[in-house]
Every structure is written in C-alpha cells, then in structure tokens.
Structure 1
Amino acid sequence: MWPLNPSRKEVVRFAVRCRVLTLMLQVLTRFLGSSTPVVYWFAAHLLQDQEPLLRSLESVSTTPCSEDFPPGQKLPRNSIMVLLYNWKTCSAVTRYILGYFLTYWLLGLLLHCNFLPWT
C-alpha cells in the first residue's frame, strides 16, 4: 500500500520500474513482430485453410481475359485486397485476422505520429 505522502525516492523508483516495464514490452514486441515470421506464417496458414475465397483464386488462371472485367475496373493483384473487397462474404476467422492486422496498423499509425509509445 502506498503511503499518503510518498517520498521522492519512492516516486522515482516507481517511475523507473514503469519505464523499464514498458521498454521491455516494446522491445519484445518489436523483436517478435519484425524478426520472427511465425506470427505471419500462422495467420497465412489459417487464411489458406479457412478461407474458400482464396482457394477459388488459386484455381483462376494467372492471365485473366480482359473482356471479363468492365472498362476502368482493375483486377486486384493482391489477394488481401480481394478479401477486403469481399469482407462480408469472408469467414469469421478471416475477418478476425484482417481486423487484427488492420487495427494494429491503424493504432500504430495514430499513436506513433503523436509520439506515443507504440511498436
């Protein structure tokens, strides 16, 4: 229990412990997120197993006919964009994975630009 009037030494000790904890968490998440591809492999594995839309993209030929698409509409080359365009028809696992990565990207963008601690 904290005393009602903490000394300066206790306040500094508490601040240092908090800073070390947040620093350790930031460094660990940076190492795990950038140097270890296991998280991304697992997400890709789940997407390949659970998403029928990706399986239908694999069966499509690599050179689609341009007559199949209306003028001005481009065929997305990135399969993630196909999943995002067809958000409502995706499975729940796909929505959770895409939602996690989109939320992480958006929070990182907003917090990092405001000089807040984000990895």
Structure 2
Amino acid sequence: MELWSRADPQLREVVWFSLRCRALALLLQVLTRFLGSSSPILYWFSAHLLQEHEPLLWSTGTDNPKSGKPLLGKSPRSCGKGTSDNPVVRLLLNWRLITPLSKSILGFFLGYWLLGLILHCNFFPWT
C-alpha cells in the first residue's frame, strides 16, 4: 500500500479518473449490449416503420411502382441468382427511390454497424 501512503493528490486524482472512465466505458458497453441484443423492441419498431411507409416493400412484382422500370434488386446477378428475396438488399440497391424515413432508418443501422466495426477493431469500447 505504498502507492496510497504518499501525499501526492495528483496521483490519487489520476487513479480515480481512470477508474471512473473505465466504469463508464463498461457501463456503456453493457447498456448497448442489453438494449441492442436482448431487447427486440428497437428492431420491431424499425421494421414496423419500414413496412408501413416504404412502397418498395409493398410491391410484389418486378416493376417499380413509381417509374415502371424493373427494380435493381430484382435483376439477376452474374451467378444466376437474384437478390429479390432479401428486402434490405433491395432497399439498399434502390437507395434513390426509397423514402427519407427509410433512408434514416437504414442509415442509422448501417452507421451503427460501421462505427462499431471500426471502433471494435481498434480496441475501443464498443459492442
């Protein structure tokens, strides 16, 4: 206990500051993990908003309801498979045609994913 017996107030403040920063980072990681992984309400609400307000998810045919052109996600790829079965890929491929609400929802999730990927790979506190 020689470290605490010194009369250096700066050392104590540095140690307390580092402990508080670590506790805050741990708290943020646990909160984002609980809210993002174990609570599906965020995903349910986002899916509900996309389903209610996005016309590209309503159409079942191959034509765009706005312009009559085929959707980009419906066209076959070079490997012979289309991406029409995945609505998120269809929305991302038709980015210019989707509503601003859909752009903000998809932008939030893509930004969260990209920020988490960058921060986690650089050993910053992110889940």
TM-score for both structures, normalised by structure 2: 0.75
| CA-CA distance at 1:74 after TM superposition | 3.3
Query: Is there any run of 5+ residues in structure 1 with no aligned partner, and where?
Result: 62-67
Q: How many residues align?
A: 107
Instruction: Provide the aligned C-alpha RMSD in A.
Output: 2.3
Alignment partner, residue 64 of structure 1: none
Alignment partner, residue 121 of structure 2: 113
- In the TM superposition, structure 1's runs of 4+ consecutive aligned residues that sit over 4 Å from their partners are 68-71
| CA-CA distance at 1:75 after TM superposition | 2.3
2-structure distance, mates of 1:91, 1:53: 9
2-structure distance, mates of 1:38, 1:27: 17
Alignment partner, residue 65 of structure 1: none
| CA-CA distance at 1:6 after TM superposition | 5.1
Q: How does 1:23-38 map to 2 (within 5 A)?
A: 23-38=26-41
Alignment partner, residue 82 of structure 1: 90
Query: Is there any run of 5+ residues in structure 2 with no aligned partner, and where?
Result: 1-7, 63-73
Instruction: Give CA-to-partner distance per residue, 1:21-62, whole Å, 9 cap, x none.
Output: 1111110110110011111001100100110100113xx49x
Alignment partner, residue 100 of structure 2: 92
2-structure distance, mates of 1:94, 1:55: 13
Percent of aligned positions that are identical: 57
TM-score for both structures, normalised by structure 1: 0.80
Q: Does 1:53 align with 2:42?
A: no
Q: For 2:101, what is the secondary structure of its paired residue? A: helix
| CA-CA distance at 1:70 after TM superposition | 6.2
- Which has the higher relative contact order, 1 or 2, with Cα contacts under 8 A spaced 6 or more apart? 1
